[in-house]
């Protein structure tokens, strides 16, 4: 009888253990935003190789890292005014998601470098439709920050909240805002800093003017001027100027 009871207790304990284990994969499961992957488009490969070529040249104090919003600086007048004399490198690639930036960091974009500062903004492309949740986007941003800290231990990071998109407030904006809020917890005030300048692009009613973002996503020259001015004091401070 005692043996039978012990068997029942043992089976019940085994059941609880298995039930607990079954929960773990859902909590620890990998997802697309944190799984490094490259892209196959010839233009993307060319852009990636150009970034690697710039990295091999060295002499970089400041890196802007991100997607098309970052690539759009494109040595424009605002870039030249604020960053032309600062040994800055534009490492943005259009359409990139967190997983693509992770792959790039593992394939040469910052090899051999020790810049003073990386300005990072990424994640808006992950937010399309049901591709990734706010939590998953934040996971991707965190993975990039951790990778940067591993590869560039002496480099400070200025993490920017994902810029607002869409003419009016909308669910995608809200998703990106939540992802940014979650990512902001990475800031330690020592090596990692966080800024949310999104409101600088918005009208009082929350809309975006075409003069700032003609497609309600990518800045115009005026939009880049707003961006540069908003972060200038922090950039100057973190560069030690």
Catalytic positions: 68, 215, 218
Distance CA 57, CA 80 (A): 19
Is residue 178 a contact partner of residue 198, using CB atoms and an 8 Å limit?
no
Distance CA 165, CA 80 (A): 26
Place of tokens 């869409």: 166
Distance CA 147, CA 145 (A): 5
| Other beta carbons within 10 Å of 168 | 12
- State the helix-helix crossing angle for 171-183 and 134-151, rounded to 10 degrees: 40
Residue 169 CA: distances (Å) to CA of 3, 34, 52, 125, 175: 65, 27, 38, 17, 11
């Amino acid at each position: 009888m005692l043996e039978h009871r012990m068997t029942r207790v043992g089976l019940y304990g085994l059941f609880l253990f298995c039930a607990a284990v079954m929960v773990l994969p859902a909590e620890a499961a990998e997802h697309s935003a944190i799984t490094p992957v490259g892209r196959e488009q010839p233009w993307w490969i060319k852009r990636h190789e150009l970034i690697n070529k710039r990295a091999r040249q060295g002499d970089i104090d400041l890196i802007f890292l991100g997607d098309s919003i970052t690539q759009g600086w494109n040595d424009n007048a605002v870039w030249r005014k604020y960053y032309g004399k600062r040994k800055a490198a534009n490492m943005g690639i259009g359409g990139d998601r967190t997983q693509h930036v992770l792959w790039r960091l593992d394939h040469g974009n910052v090899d051999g470098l020790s810049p003073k500062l990386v300005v990072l903004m990424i994640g808006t492309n992950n937010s399309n439709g049901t591709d990734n949740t706010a939590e998953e986007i934040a996971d991707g941003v965190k993975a990039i920050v951790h990778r940067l800290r591993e590869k560039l231990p002496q480099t400070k990071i200025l993490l920017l909240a994902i810029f607002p998109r869409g003419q009016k407030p909308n669910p995608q904006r809200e998703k990106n805002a939540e992802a940014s809020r979650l990512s902001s917890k990475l800031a330690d005030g020592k090596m990692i800093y966080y800024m949310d300048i999104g409101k600088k692009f918005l009208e009082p009613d929350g809309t975006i003017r075409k003069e700032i973002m003609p497609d309600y996503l990518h800045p115009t020259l005026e939009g880049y001027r707003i961006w540069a001015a908003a972060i200038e004091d922090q950039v100057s401070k973190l560069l030690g100027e």
